[in-house]
Copies of this chain bind each other. A is one copy, B any other.
Amino acid sequence: MAFIQDLREGDHIVQVFLCKQKVTGTTKTGKNYYSLKLQDKTGIVDAKVWELSNSIAHFDGNDYIVVEGDVQSYNNALQINVRRIRRADPGEYDQKDYLPASQLKIEDMFAELLKLEGKIEHPKLKALADSFFVEDAEFIKAFKVHSAAKSVHHNFIGGLLQHTLRVTQLCYFFSLQYPMLNRDLLLTAALFHDIGKLRELSDFPENDYTDEGQLLGHIVIGYEMVKDRIEKIDGFPKKLKTELLHCILAHQGQLEYGSPKKPSIMEALALYYADDTDAKLEIMTEEFDKTNSMDFLGVNRFLGTNIRRTSREN
């Protein structure tokens, strides 16, 4: 397979792309055609389907499709003149070739997360965490690949897992440093704090806000997911339930960031700092990863200031 960055004028190709956009147009002579944007992890290329013949099987945006066609040049850019299209079978492609993904291995990260989950001693909190992270195969499958954002940070395959791992590690470290923290509660809250994103954002390749994501948001969705599961566990202490749910609601720290309550207990406050620290350090990391420049990159809109990589002088 040739990646998009390697296509050259004159190539004849037969390969799988992710179809990010499909628009139907009409030529001057009144014939319909398709204008496509095809994507892999190295870029995006325009494609045109001028003949909607039998060779063009049905497909939609966000489908993986097998495309046969010729690479041409148009207005100083490459464009694929398409002859045949069919939907790709699941085994014909690896979505990590088509979408941004964590630089860390998903199974490694999940194993490390489970180690931290294993440190929870309180039986009810452990039962709750197990019910998702150990026993719920569907949840685990989704959790491992979901993103943690549409665009800002961790917007890649494994992003939710990577962010959750970093936040939980940081919370574990806090629990060593500040003995007043209830480690079991804090670890549980860290594991669950962003699980509402599973429903706030649709699965890859779309990775966009869902209707309930827009209208309810991941904080309240996560609250609801955890609350409903707690209610299935006999004898879960009432105050502990309220405190855990409070941690989820308050983890964005400020009302103006969408938390309906500010942190009132120490674990909620610690979780907020862990979440915010990982978010902001990841934003810088992702920005610097995009470029080799050692100059200032301009004002970053999430950080509100001009940023640059640290020098490496000796």
Contacts and interface: CB of A to CB of B under 8 A. Distances in A.
Interface of A: 122, 166, 169-170, 173-174, 177-178, 180-182, 185, 209, 211-212, 214-217, 219-220, 223-224, 227, 237-240, 242-243, 245-246, 249, 255-267, 269-270, 273, 276-277, 280-281, 284-285, 288, 296, 303-314
A296 B227 contact: no
Contacts of A284: 180, 266, 269
A134 to B, nearest CB: 22
A177 B163 CA distance: 12
Contacts of A185: 310
A264 B313 contact: no
Contacts of A311: 237, 239-240, 243
A217 B308 contact: no
Contacts of A257: 255
A265 B306 contact: no
A262 B306 CA distance: 9
Nearest to A239: B311
10 contacts: A214-B296, A215-B243, A215-B246, A217-B260, A220-B260, A238-B313, A258-B261, A262-B304, A273-B277, A273-B281
Contacts of A269: 280-281, 284, 303
Contacts of A239: 211, 311, 313
Contacts of A219: 260
A276 B253 CA distance: 13
